[in-house]
Structure 1
Amino acid sequence: MALRPAARAAHQWNSVTSAFARRYCVSQPSCFTSAAASPVLSALRSHPSPHPARSFSTTPRTAAKVDNSSLTHQDIIPPQQGLPQRKRTIQIGHLPGGRVSDGQIRSIFGTRVSGHDGNSVLRILHHRRTSGSLADYGVDNLGDKYNVSRDQAIKALDWLRNKFPLDEARAAEAWAEKEANRIAYEMWLADPENDSKYKDPARVYREQQKKEAAEREQEAEQQERSQYGILRTGKSQFEISIQEKRRQRLEEITKKAEAKEAKAVEEEKMLATGEWVRTPGGTQLMKPGQDTYVDVFGREQVSRRKEEMERAQKAAQTSFKDEDEMLAQTTLTQRLYPMTAFVLVVCLVSFGFAHYYEPPAPAYRLWPDLSPTTATIASIVLANTLLCIAWRWTPFWPIMTRYFMHVPGYPRAVQAVGNVFSHVQYEHLFGNMMMLALVGPVAHDLVDRGVFLGTYVSAGAVGTLVSLYWANLGKGSITAHSVGASAAIWGISALYCLLTDQETIKIPFIRDMEVGFYPKMLLAAFVVWEVAMARRKGPSTMDHASHFGGMAVGVGVAGYLHATGFHQRRAASVEGGEAKTVDVAGIVKGEAGEVKDAVVNAVKKA
């Protein structure tokens, strides 16, 4: 919030007090004369606040509850012309920091003032500061029972300003407005039938409407009686229309004013509870700890991102307090059977898709400028990227945790496939997609799209199912959250290593350098590495059970293809035989070039 200097406080209050006096005391010079000037004006001039303004966290309407004692103070209302002088009893709250020690009281008031009386005086002065009445009452009229001189009261006021800084100018503005409304209302009570500006606005408006309605009826009757040929007397239709529009506009202004006043009253009630504070700009209310921002229209808005995040997080979390409570909600059969049946259906559908898939004609392809291999890999990468971005939008958290994250203690069947395309951390997504970009193209070119996608999806689903069984029947964690495409990537990696006849691999970024490539030995090394990592003691963030499940699917698909004559069909379909060298860098570079050309062509067409 923008802080206003204390030097402006006295000047601002002077202008507010002058405006107040010009409006309500034109014929009452006794209200604000130089002889009866407010004592605090001199205090504000001679003792400026050492702090420019209160900090945003200060809430002058709340006070620390130290004890249950209450303090009442009688303020004498300055007499107005034609109004009786009366006293008003006000409840004084506690100081924000609680009761001041007796030693501090002696340092402020001296030894002649007791600790109880000193605290009472401090409370009265602080109440006048927060309510804005300090501008009227100053440091005087503290009560005869307190043996406090004016100098001591000024010293106490300085101590309060140092200890509890706040914006006294803003409080004085609010006090002046309330006093103006009170005086106007009392003057209207004294003479409610006058036509002065102090008359009740609502009553004036209602009476004005009645008078105008009567005039309209009278004019209508007169027009009906006073017609001579085509000439008519009274107001014209244009004047009547203008008058009606003016009436509608006044009604709209009145409704807006009433709504604004009701809102102000409601805000005052909310501020009085201590649970709300004003925003730095003072345009709205917010709870302590909330943030504000300025929108594109320059309006101050309260940020509710923290509340929305907490609400989404609460909706995304399960209601279980511990592992035992989670397991008590379902039986072992209820946890294992639904996902087992679902994964079986997924495997059957994947087998049918791999067996009967035929490449579509170019006219029916979504991306005809890309090769089938590049289109397939790009689609999988795009789906994983979009789901990773969805994790960053808090309203999506309940859906993401329900369908795209596997929890063995409280599983849902669809999680077997949903978590395969889901990544929470960007680094996890980057690692898996980089591995897919290296292995996926060569595996796709080897077995075509049908077998590739069938193996990818079924390997991920079976890997999730193996992780579920390992957590419920083995030594896995029942409360672990599993996401990622690792099981699917291990499945296509095992499939490629068992079916390829390539013998060498070209080293990326090094010209004309090739090394021996033994796919089956590489797969065996992967299995040994996974076993070693799984047997390592200590916590691990890798779901090794799902990796083994994905590898098992890849091995099974490779064995089925080998038994059904895959190599013979492959040799017959590839002219001149399959290349013996794997150029991973060349494949990735070619895919990137295809994607770039497709984007350029799409932009040109658009």
Structure 2
Amino acid sequence: LQSLLRSRFTLATGLRNFSVCTAFSARNRFIPRTPPVVQKTGRGPQDGQRIARRRRDLPTWRDYDPEIGIPLPSGELDQATITEIFGPDMHCDDGNHILRLMHYRRLSGSLIDIGVDFPRESGISPEMATKALEYIRTLDPAFDENEAGAAWAESEIMKVEQQYMARAERLGIYKRTDDSQADDSQSSAGSSNIYGESALDQLRKANKARWMEEDRKKEEAKKQQEAERVSALKAEAKDNNPEVETKEETGKIFSPFDEIALAQPTQKAWLEPVERKPWVKYYEEQATIIKDNKIPNLSTLRRLGPSALVLLAVLAGCWMLEETYNPPPRSARMFPDVPPAIATLGAITAINLAVFIAWRIPPLWRTMNKTFQVTAAYPFAIGTLGAQFSHQSFRHLFVNMVMLWPFGWILHDDVGRGTFLAVYLACGTVGTYGSLAFNVLAKRWMNYSFGSSTAVIGTMAAACLVRANNNVTVLGYEIPDITGLTVLGMIAGLEILRAWRGKNTKIDYPGHLSGLATGVLAGFYVRSKTPATLMTRKEFTSVQSEESAD
């Protein structure tokens, strides 16, 4: 620790000496030997105090985010100026963004530490940053970058020192002394220095005092807001119940309505966080696709194009499956005594359960992130198909499977295994892609989607539309006076109402509505291929291709 602090302090001191020597040599070269003529400006001490006060009130580089930068004094530049600085390939918004970032680095002094290097994912090359820096230097050539760099180095030294001191205090190795003792020791040490207090020490003390004052003001403002809120609540309660008086005691809060006192807690509990094991942390880091929490600079076509190709391939495969599937004979089935609908739904449930278990295995996390979910920031095309089999909570899996079995059983018995699987996969894939497209176009980069709800709701819609004029049968029990079209209207109305209200933001409404629309289209397609006599019967005659083959 001492060697680290000594090396960083040596760097800061060397920069300060370099800036001082440079300024001294400049004065020797350009300042004339004759005494300068002092002109009276007519300003008194009060004018100087007002100017200094206005300068202190102006925002500094600490008031800005280093990821956004500091705006230029002249404001945003137009496209012609950006082209003159960077060339014809630079967009106006990107060029202004680079200028703001370099302006922040120059004013804060971090230019001496970071330079013109940016992460590769940002798309900013050192040549772009150098051109931006050269332009910014022309705006304020008198700015001392060496002095700003020395101040930056000093602040970094203070941060490292505070981190190590806080860690030592937390481990019980170091005990902080009183502020009065620390101030006395610093003053005595400062007075023993024959060279006096350095400019860096003065800057450090001034910054520390300013930060403490800002923290104190924020704390006072927070207390004031809390007091105003409590007083407003008391006034409202008194207006509603003028006969009841509120009581105040130390450590207790009395309700003005039922005289119930709530005592302040006497003890504070602290739950020690459980850290992940090192091998789990390793796989967690490996599974992270976006390392620096920055949105990749990808176009809309790059995000949606590959997934669209996968969607078209899946739809083509579903059409071929529906047209060419022939049920196997009874002797070729793995479970000949199990009805075909139960076998198919059981296989789908087993696949979803296997993916649910795979999410609990850390070495598979990276593969799961790429294959079984879709994120708008950096989507993988194969996730458009795999996301409909993915669940990370048992409740999510249980609800979807409970909704799938009754309606999937109906659709499977009516249209057969090939058509049922085609409808299920098509609804799930289209629903996932619809969710991805909505999040990309709305620039909701952190939204991600997974789950079989898109396929399930599409299957429900297709089953209801196939039996639009017939009663719905759930697990062998017929529901009287409720046709499939009625159930479809209830499902669609509920989804549209929930999406319009939008209270539960965790539900993928775009995916649900896309899957629902696909199920409706699939239902119309199946009805167009089914004889009309079957659609008008009181009891819908099941196709059950598998059973007839058996």
If the length of structure 2 is used for normalisation, what is the TM-score?
0.47
Instruction: Report which of the two structures shows the higher radius of gyration computed on alpha carbons.
Output: 1
If the length of structure 1 is used for normalisation, what is the TM-score?
0.43
Higher helix proportion (structure 1 or 2): 2
